[in-house]
Amino acid sequence: MIEFFILLGILLGLGGGLIPILVVLLLIRNKRKRLNEKFISLGSLIGRTYTEIVLYCGSPETNMMRRDSYGNIIRECEWRDYEFRITLFFDKDGYCISIGNQTSGYY
């Protein structure tokens, strides 16, 4: 989806100058900022369900099941965009048990 807006900005920029490109980039930035704000507005993530987080913040970019060092099955999910990334771990019942990584402004 982001690639579409970038391509649209380039095409509009060729015919209309710099302003259409800036408008498209601002739209992209605002969309990305919202992901960070959604996670912040949820408050504490520990104890929240996978379904609850997906309904509020959207589907994760990566979603994989694995075993931890004790042999328990856990789900590792990562949500990311241009300026924000967060990795959450869920137990077999779908409850968030840990935040593995949270980075803002990493590009």
Which of 98, 99, 93, 100 is closest to 49 using CA atoms? Answer: 93
pLDDT greater than 80 at residue 94: yes
Q: Is the pTM of this model over 0.85?
A: no
Given this model, what pLDDT does residue 82 score? 77
Mean pLDDT of the 7-19 span? 61
* E strand residue ranges, 1-107: 62-67, 73-80, 84-90, 96-104
**CATH class entry, domain 2-104:** alpha beta
Residues 6+ away with beta carbon under 8 Å from 60: 54, 77, 78, 79, 88
CB 81 within 8 A of CB 57: no
| C-alpha–C-alpha distance, residues 99 and 85, integer Å | 11
N- to C-terminal Cα distance for the chain?
A: 18
pLDDT classification of 8: cutoffs 50, 70, 90? low
Reported as a single tens digit per residue, the pLDDT across 30-82 is 555 578 889 999 999 999 999 999 999 999 999 999 998 999 999 999 999 87
